[in-house]
């Protein structure tokens, strides 16, 4: 019997837990789902006799180590900053670890210890990062095997909602993942390569540094650059590539309005703006608005600050969020980012009848036999009544990799990400059974 421990039963856990429980009898697994909300863990496990719900406050080291000690493989769905404590426990207790989060420098430093203990520490085994790595490496290696030289690689991913469920939402967006991450997205400086030149885009300009991208079957989407594009240059074996950019998809119009929130200061998570919770949204906007022009309304002064007219599409989006209402803000001692998060959790809430979309597209510009070509690889997955597309694309790669591990089909040891063919080939093949398919289009381009 292989004991699987899944830490976290939240928004993205459902598809992973279902996959594990479905496979549990065949693979002789016992699946423990641990969460600080025991009722949620019980709900996710259901009546499956091979599933065990467990309460866990991850900050309680002894409880955490007790559960890890009784497992063989640990899957951490915790917030990224909590993975390191779990990783240290897994080193000490000689347990394998899988996460869907970016691998931090601190986690990479555990690579030698994990390798010496014959442990697999697989990170970035979700959607983005995860499926993006695997699908990119598959095409990169196929092109190399043909003798091609790759001159540009552009990779874009977005968690969206099907357009028919957004008719009354001017932002054309709803929350399908961690709402705090939505609010803080893009903070820092994005850096990428364009025609052999390093480009750096600071946060205050990021949502204006966008590009329109055509996606077959969906239309035109807007892309803003990720901050991490160059992290994967060597890992993809693209050290000499002149153009490399990774980005995030949104529907057109979103980025202009989010840029306005950044300019106002509503994404600042560094200071509490409220002392007693007596301020209204209107008063908060008044606090941010310039004093001039005197006699103008708060909305007019905010519009002037942003270089907008009071009834522009951007201002209508801010108004729709409720930022100019004279309703009292319901949370005390909150940062602007927390106030914004509270608003979007309510206004952008995914309803049971809504269906989300995950869109991923790679563009490879390459030279072969003296000709310049472009291969475009596109994946669109729609959620269903049971799981969101986001939950599927975070959870299923984790579950499939778990299966491969438990069947001794993974040779790599230490801290890794899924760029090896022993990982991406079987994972992508099985994902096709769940509707995760990339459609490729290859065409000639001007040199």
The per-residue pLDDT for 417 is: 95
The per-residue pLDDT for 445 is: 84
Is 265 contained in some domain?
A: no
Whole-number average pLDDT of the chain: 93
Of 76, 106, 123, the residue at which a domain comes to its end is: 123
Return the axis-axis angle of helices 313-321 and 298-306, rounded to nearest 10°: 130
The per-residue pLDDT for 293 is: 77
Q: Are residues 358 and 239 in the same domain?
A: yes
Peptide bond into 310 cis (omega under 30): no
Percent of the chain scored above 70 by pLDDT? 99
Is 317 contained in some domain?
A: yes
- Check if the beta carbon of residue 241 is closer than 8 Å to that of residue 150: yes
Is 420 contained in some domain?
A: no
Q: 439-444 and 51-55: which strand pairing?
A: unpaired
- Give per-residue burial for 311-328: e unless 16+ CB within 10 Å, then b: ebebbebbbebebbeeee
Q: Are residues 252 and 366 in the same domain?
A: yes
The per-residue pLDDT for 277 is: 64
How far does CA 207 lie from the centroid of its chain? Answer: 17
How far does CA 71 lie from the centroid of its chain? Answer: 27
pLDDT over 60 at 225, yes or no: yes
Quote the CA–CA distance of 91 and 111 in Å, as a whole number. 10
Neighbours of 15 (CB within 10 A): 23
Quote the CA–CA distance of 38 and 18 in Å, as a whole number. 17
Q: Where are the alpha helices (DSSP H) in 101-159?
A: 105-108, 111-116, 131-145
Rounded alpha-carbon distances, angstroms, from residue 114 to 93, 118, 198, 412: 11, 6, 35, 11
The per-residue pLDDT for 184 is: 87
Q: Are residues 20 and 95 in the same domain?
A: yes
Quote the CA–CA distance of 277 and 275 in Å, as a whole number. 6
Rounded alpha-carbon distances, angstroms, from residue 9 to 15, 46, 47, 53, 170: 10, 12, 16, 10, 32
Q: Are residues 142 and 251 in the same domain?
A: yes
The per-residue pLDDT for 232 is: 87
Percent of the chain scored above 90 by pLDDT? 83
Q: Are residues 146 and 201 in the same domain?
A: yes
Structural domain total, the chain? 3
3-state SS class at 361: strand
pLDDT over 90 at 229, yes or no: no
141: domain CATH number is 3.30.360.10
The per-residue pLDDT for 180 is: 87
Query: pLDDT tens for residues 89-110?
Result: 999 999 999 999 888 899 999 9
In this prediction, residue 404 has a pLDDT band, given cuts at 50, 70 and 90, of very high
Quote the CA–CA distance of 447 and 444 in Å, as a whole number. 9
Quote the CA–CA distance of 421 and 418 in Å, as a whole number. 8
Neighbours of 195 (CB within 10 A): 9
Interval 118-142 mean pLDDT? 95
In this prediction, residue 271 has a pLDDT band, given cuts at 50, 70 and 90, of confident
Query: pLDDT tens for residues 154-196?
Result: 999 999 999 999 999 999 999 987 888 889 888 889 999 999 9
* Higher local confidence (pLDDT), 332 or 244: 244
Q: Are residues 362 and 288 in the same domain?
A: no
Query: pLDDT tens for residues 317-376?
Result: 999 999 999 999 988 888 999 999 999 999 999 999 999 999 999 999 999 999 999 999
pLDDT over 60 at 276, yes or no: no
pLDDT over 80 at 389, yes or no: yes
Is 430 contained in some domain?
A: no
Q: Are residues 19 and 109 in the same domain?
A: yes
What is the domain range of residue 227? 131-256+351-389+437-444
| Neighbouring residues of 291: CB distance < 8 A, sequence distance ≥ 6 | 301
* The model scores a pTM over 0.75: yes
Quote the CA–CA distance of 260 and 316 in Å, as a whole number. 12
Q: Are residues 140 and 116 in the same domain?
A: no
Quote the CA–CA distance of 61 and 35 in Å, as a whole number. 14
The per-residue pLDDT for 275 is: 56
């Amino acid at each position: 019997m292989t004991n699987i421990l899944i830490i976290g039963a939240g928004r993205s856990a459902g598809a992973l837990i279902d996959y594990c429980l479905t496979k549990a009898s065949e693979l002789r697994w016992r699946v423990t789902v641990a969460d600080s909300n025991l009722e949620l863990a019980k709900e996710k496990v259901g009546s499956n006799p091979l599933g065990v719900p467990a309460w866990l406050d991850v900050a309680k080291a002894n409880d955490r180590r007790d559960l890890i000690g009784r497992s063989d493989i640990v899957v951490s769905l915790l917030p990224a900053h909590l993975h390191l404590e779990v990783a240290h426990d897994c080193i000490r207790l000689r347990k394998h670890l899988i996460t869907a989060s970016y691998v931090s420098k601190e986690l990479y430093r555990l690579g030698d210890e994990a390798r010496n203990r014959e442990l697999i520490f697989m990170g970035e085994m979700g959607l983005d990062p995860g499926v993006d790595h695997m699908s990119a490496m598959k095409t990169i290696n196929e092109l190399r095997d043909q003798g091609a030289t790759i001159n540009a690689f552009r990779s874009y991913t977005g968690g969206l909602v099907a357009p028919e469920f957004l008719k009354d939402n001017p932002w054309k967006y709803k929350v399908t993942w961690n709402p705090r991450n939505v609010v803080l997205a893009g903070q820092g400086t994005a850096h990428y390569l364009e025609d052999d030149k390093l480009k750096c885009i600071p946060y205050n300009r990021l949502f204006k540094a966008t590009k329109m991208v055509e996606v077959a079957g969906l239309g035109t989407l807007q892309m803003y650059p990720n901050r991490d594009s160059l992290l994967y240059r060597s890992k993809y074996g693209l050290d000499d590539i002149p153009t490399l950019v990774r980005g995030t998809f949104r529907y057109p119009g979103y980025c202009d309005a989010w840029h306005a929130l950044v300019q106002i200061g509503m994404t600042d998570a560094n200071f509490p703006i409220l002392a007693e919770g007596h301020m209204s949204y209107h008063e908060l906007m008044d606090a941010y608005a310039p004093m001039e022009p005197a006699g103008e309304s708060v909305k007019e002064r905010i519009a002037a600050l942003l270089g907008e007219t009071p009834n522009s599409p951007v201002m209508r989006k801010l108004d729709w969020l409720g930022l100019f209402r004279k309703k009292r803000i319901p949370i005390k001692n909150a940062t602007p980012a927390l106030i914004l998060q509270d608003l979007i959790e309510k206004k952008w809430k995914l309803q049971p009848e809504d269906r989300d979309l995950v869109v991923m597209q790679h563009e490879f510009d390459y030279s072969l036999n003296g000709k310049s070509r472009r291969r475009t690889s596109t994946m669109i997955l729609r959620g269903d009544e049971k799981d969101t597309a986001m939950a599927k694309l975070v959870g299923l790669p984790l579950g499939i990799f778990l299966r491969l591990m438990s069947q001794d089909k993974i040779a790599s040891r230490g801290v890794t990400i899924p760029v090896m063919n022993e990982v991406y080939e079987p994972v992508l093949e099985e994902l096709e059974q769940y509707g995760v398919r990339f459609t490729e289009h290859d065409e000639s381009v001007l040199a």
